Chains A and B, each alone.
Chain A
């Protein structure tokens, strides 16, 4: 019951916001939105805490049913969804002030919250696919919010890339319908081996299609191009949740397909794994490289997301416990870190209107808190111990080394390392120049531009989380390891 409410209530709430013709004042809108977000979050948390609930909602055709099942994997994702969504939401209260048509933004924002609940709690492939599509469709308005030409192009690009990915997935689902015993998510996979017998090649191709399909959302090469287009044009809170959450839903999709439907055993050692590994490593390197060369701040962060998301995928592709642990940790950490980064970028744009990296000299003097948060998050992403990013990368690297995949067991860590250096190279100079603009900087012009508390607090929360998770990763890691035990 709680489960269905956690999905339906935000959707209806969002719809309500959209349908109400006029709010008396902006505060009324914010109040309604805030209440919606809060209710949704409470419901979500309640579901997370209330044990392994199952819910068969209804069937709209043979083998086509809406079925929800709360499991540990879903819980992790649900937790970060709730966290990031709330924080970014409250941040948006202030940020969206300078945008028009806020009502629409918040309406969709609340709706997508509900959809995300549905995604994380989905119990079978069809349900997952349904909510995945809805997420794509409903998140588009968030991106093209300001309706500039670029924004619309960015939104459409996002839409069509995502749909393309979704249809690749659908292609797979069509076949799973025949070759899987059930499409419910069961750790270890549900392939009907007797049916697959003789069709292994087909099944591998299908798996590959599904992996690629979901990876589109996670920005894996060669279908990563939507990220750098869509992110810069979207409002900052939207960029934050895109990178923090929506990209992760692609990852969740891959996890569900690989570990819960097809089964890691089926893929291990096949060409699918090889190609997948190659693609992820290429993406990791290429993403960082492009980020390094990018001058537009948010675009740089977007490329960074491309690269980091593929860290996660790389871990998944290893099909090996340590790698998977690393991936899941990185899911959490990256969600927090990247949201933090984007929100700080948003704060900068909000206050100064500067979008180019080169213009940000001395920004640290103007907005010290923001840039500190940025710096901490950045350092975490680079993987500087004891910040959180280090933990996940460590696991990933160990996973690669332990995997026994020949060339990948050493190439993987090397690429990760190089990419980490590049990450440092593209993230930290902003902090350095921001705080130490150099001798020729005109200090007299500095004005305090720190944004309002409602924007700064989310940044601070996220930054603190980054640190805390890095210092006390024990509980989380344990939780994840326990979960992985059942999957692999």
Chain B
């Protein structure tokens, strides 16, 4: 398959989204089938490109010097693009039901579909400029989604999101410049592209720059101290929070950090320097911080968002180990967290959609009424806690294996943080489960709670099933990640 199909995969949802706005649809059903069709076709193309496509470089536009917009497929691409290609059709299906009573459904789906293309752009980007471009676009295209409800709160949240993201990108841009100047090329090549000479002479400077860019891209994956936008952005409709703020957007941040660390600066250069420790310390702190905030939060979506903050830093922590195993661990959490968190968000959204309530303390006893939803929620909770047999354990296992293997002193603290976060996760997730299944005697259960329609239940069940399946049969996936990390794939 020619690699021009990459372009098709990126552009189809974007164009499709715009067309959606222009085309007149007779009724919702047509529109829904149109959207789902676009998304599924994109996913199919993506899948074909990933596994059958040529491994060449596709240059689209040439900018200054060695800067260009170009795409390619490598291991990381497969991971990210594959993940979202699986999740997007499901999330869209879920969104149909979630958004059914919304007046501005059309504009929602327009941007929702466009975001798909932009995210794919990040995944396929072959060099730092292309990634930066789509990274910025991702910020912008998701803005209408976050502020969809147009409440004061939403607008406030969206502003914060924008400023944080763009600000972060501005800092990351600085790093980009350094890579352009001190690197052999801007392309992502496992092991880094820095001049050896530049590394020697400018090492102290480059380390600072790495830190700067780490913090910059870290904004999107909600690394402390810039994590507060994520919970605030939870005002968005749940399909957005679930897919974008638990998977696509935030993973893009982690993805960018991995790209930068492993493919641009190179781990040989960074490993063992102070900056590695600094970044790792930040990640470790964020892990604990995010989870503690989640415990304190009683709004279900915000709670999950804080949980996301913590979990994303697992990925970052894996990345900062700067060993191939660390990368493999990071990637496994990258994928697995996606499935787990989208499940829990979907469930939370289903609860909110059906009952109109949104706080944990309003969930008394609903587990007995919304059986399917809360069964899945429980699965995701167990997964997030890292109970063996569920996917979360696999990624934790890989991460810690890498941490132990790295022999890095701070990594041991990281393992401890992972476990502290696990217990905190247990507190905030099982707290919910408990309430839902074992309400206090005097508590009042919401009367009208019941399982939502199939459009919601099916995606949720599938994602939950993935959590279990990945937990039990993870070996092929993990081996694949190790291949990527060792540069064999």
Q: Decide if A59 touches B475 in the complex (CB within 8 Å).
A: yes
Q: Decide if A147 touches B397 in the complex (CB within 8 Å).
A: no
**Complex Cα–Cα for A155 and B473 (A):** 32
A-B contact count (CB 8 A): 92
Interface set, chain B 362-421, CB cutoff 8 A to A: 382, 385-389, 394, 396-398, 400-401, 403-405, 412, 415-416, 419-420
Which of these, B416, B419, B423, B441, contacts A147 with CB under 8 Å?
A: B441
Report chain B residues within 8 Å CB of A60: 388-389, 394, 471-475
Cβ of A24 within 8 Å of any chain B Cβ, yes or no, is no
Q: Decide if B474 touches A170 in the complex (CB within 8 Å).
A: no
**Complex Cα–Cα for A60 and B422 (A):** 20
Report chain B residues within 8 Å CB of A152: 434, 438, 440
Q: Shortest distance in angstroms between B100's beta carbon and chain A's nearest beta carbon?
A: 30
Q: Decide if B439 touches A175 in the complex (CB within 8 Å).
A: no
- If over half of A's interface residues share one DSSP class (helix, strand or loop), that class is named, otherwise mixed; here it is helix
Cβ of B427 within 8 Å of any chain A Cβ, yes or no, is yes
Q: How many residues of B contact A (CB 8 A)?
A: 39
Say which one of A48-56, A159-167, A348-356, A475-483 lies at the interface with B. Answer: A159-167
Given contacts A61-B397, A160-B423, A174-B403, contact A134 B441 (CB under 8 A): no
**Complex Cα–Cα for A147 and B434 (A):** 10
Which of these, A137, A170, A175, contacts B382 with CB under 8 Å?
A: A137
Q: Decide if A147 touches B478 in the complex (CB within 8 Å).
A: no
Q: Decide if B438 touches A144 in the complex (CB within 8 Å).
A: yes
Q: Decide if A171 touches B415 in the complex (CB within 8 Å).
A: yes
Q: Interface range on chain A: under 10, 10 to 19, 20 to 34, or 35 or more?
A: 35 or more
Q: Decide if A156 touches B434 in the complex (CB within 8 Å).
A: yes
**Complex Cα–Cα for A134 and B388 (A):** 9
**Complex Cα–Cα for A167 and B405 (A):** 19
**Complex Cα–Cα for A167 and B442 (A):** 33
Closest B residue to A202 by beta carbon equals B412
Report chain B residues within 8 Å CB of A147: 438-441
Interface set, chain A 81-140, CB cutoff 8 A to B: 126, 129-130, 133-134, 137, 140
Report chain A residues within 8 Å CB of B382: 137
Cβ of B430 within 8 Å of any chain A Cβ, yes or no, is yes
Which of these, A146, A148, A170, A175, contacts B422 with CB under 8 Å?
A: A170
Against A, the Cβ 8 Å flags (1 = close, 0 = not) of B467-483 are: 00001111100100000
**Complex Cα–Cα for A159 and B396 (A):** 21
Against A, the Cβ 8 Å flags (1 = close, 0 = not) of B435-474 are: 0011111100000000000000000000000000001111
User: Considering residues B389, B416, B426, B441, which has the most beta carbons from chain A within 10 angstroms of its beta carbon?
Assistant: B426
Report chain B residues within 8 Å CB of A178: 401, 404-405
**Complex Cα–Cα for A64 and B442 (A):** 44
Q: Decide if B478 touches A62 in the complex (CB within 8 Å).
A: yes
Q: Decide if A61 touches B394 in the complex (CB within 8 Å).
A: yes
Q: Shortest distance in angstroms between B438's beta carbon and chain A's nearest beta carbon?
A: 6
Report chain A residues within 8 Å CB of B431: 156
**Complex Cα–Cα for A133 and B420 (A):** 16
Given contacts A147-B439, A174-B404, contact A163 B426 (CB under 8 A): yes
**Complex Cα–Cα for A163 and B387 (A):** 10
Which of these, A149, A155, A177, contacts B401 with CB under 8 Å?
A: A177
Cβ of A455 within 8 Å of any chain B Cβ, yes or no, is no
Report chain A residues within 8 Å CB of B386: 170
Given contacts A137-B387, A160-B426, A177-B404, contact A167 B419 (CB under 8 A): yes
Q: Decide if A61 touches B478 in the complex (CB within 8 Å).
A: yes
Cβ of A315 within 8 Å of any chain B Cβ, yes or no, is no
**Complex Cα–Cα for A188 and B439 (A):** 47
Q: Decide if B422 touches A163 in the complex (CB within 8 Å).
A: yes
**Complex Cα–Cα for A318 and B76 (A):** 52
Cβ of A141 within 8 Å of any chain B Cβ, yes or no, is yes
Given contacts A178-B401, A178-B404, contact A149 B419 (CB under 8 A): no
Report chain B residues within 8 Å CB of A164: 423
Closest B residue to A130 by beta carbon equals B388
User: Considering residues A61, A149, A164, which has the most beta carbons from chain B within 10 angstroms of its beta carbon?
Assistant: A61
Given contacts A61-B397, A174-B403, A177-B404, contact A148 B475 (CB under 8 A): no
**Complex Cα–Cα for A202 and B411 (A):** 13
Which of these, B404, B427, B437, B438, contacts A160 with CB under 8 Å?
A: B427
**Complex Cα–Cα for A174 and B406 (A):** 12
Report chain B residues within 8 Å CB of A167: 419-420, 422-423
Q: Decide if B478 touches A134 in the complex (CB within 8 Å).
A: no
Cβ of A168 within 8 Å of any chain B Cβ, yes or no, is yes
Which of these, B419, B427, B472, contacts A171 with CB under 8 Å?
A: B419
Q: Shortest distance in angstroms between B480's beta carbon and chain A's nearest beta carbon?
A: 13
Closest A residue to B419 by beta carbon equals A167
Given contacts A171-B419, A177-B401, A178-B401, contact A133 B427 (CB under 8 A): no
Given contacts A60-B471, A130-B389, A137-B382, contact A174 B415 (CB under 8 A): yes
Closest B residue to A150 by beta carbon equals B440
Report chain A residues within 8 Å CB of B426: 159-160, 163
Q: Shortest distance in angstroms between A445's beta carbon and chain B's nearest beta carbon?
A: 32
Q: Decide if A155 touches B438 in the complex (CB within 8 Å).
A: yes
**Complex Cα–Cα for A164 and B424 (A):** 9
Report chain B residues within 8 Å CB of A163: 385, 422-423, 426
Q: Shortest distance in angstroms between A158's beta carbon and chain B's nearest beta carbon?
A: 12
Interface set, chain A 186-238, CB cutoff 8 A to B: 202
Report chain B residues within 8 Å CB of A59: 475
Q: Shortest distance in angstroms between A105's beta carbon and chain B's nearest beta carbon?
A: 12
Interface set, chain B 19-64, CB cutoff 8 A to A: none
Closest A residue to B394 by beta carbon equals A61
Q: Shortest distance in angstroms between B401's beta carbon and chain A's nearest beta carbon?
A: 6
Which of these, B387, B396, B423, contacts A133 with CB under 8 Å?
A: B387
Against A, the Cβ 8 Å flags (1 = close, 0 = not) of B193-237 are: 000000000000000000000000000000000000000000000
Q: Decide if A155 touches B434 in the complex (CB within 8 Å).
A: yes
Q: Shortest distance in angstroms between B332's beta carbon and chain A's nearest beta carbon?
A: 9
Q: Shortest distance in angstroms between B143's beta carbon and chain A's nearest beta carbon?
A: 39
Report chain B residues within 8 Å CB of A61: 394, 397-398, 474-475, 478
Given contacts A59-B475, A160-B426, contact A174 B401 (CB under 8 A): yes
User: Considering residues A58, A59, A171, which has the most beta carbons from chain B within 10 angstroms of its beta carbon?
Assistant: A171
Contacts A/B (CB < 8 Å), 19 sampled: A58-B472, A60-B474, A61-B394, A61-B474, A63-B401, A64-B388, A147-B441, A149-B441, A155-B434, A155-B438, A167-B420, A170-B386, A170-B396, A170-B419, A174-B397, A175-B404, A177-B400, A177-B401, A178-B404
Binding site for B on A (CB under 8 A): 58-64, 126, 129-130, 133-134, 137, 140-141, 144, 146-149, 152, 155-156, 159-160, 163-164, 167-168, 170-171, 174-175, 177-178, 202
Not counting A146-B441, A155-B438, A174-B404, a sample of 15 additional A-B residue pairs whose C-beta atoms are within 8 angstroms of each other reads: A60-B394, A61-B474, A64-B388, A64-B394, A147-B440, A149-B442, A152-B438, A156-B431, A159-B426, A164-B423, A170-B422, A174-B397, A174-B401, A174-B403, A202-B412
Closest 7 CB pairs of A and B: A174-B400, A130-B388, A167-B419, A163-B426, A178-B404, A133-B387, A147-B441
Binding site for A on B (CB under 8 A): 382, 385-389, 394, 396-398, 400-401, 403-405, 412, 415-416, 419-420, 422-423, 426-427, 430-431, 434, 437-442, 471-475, 478
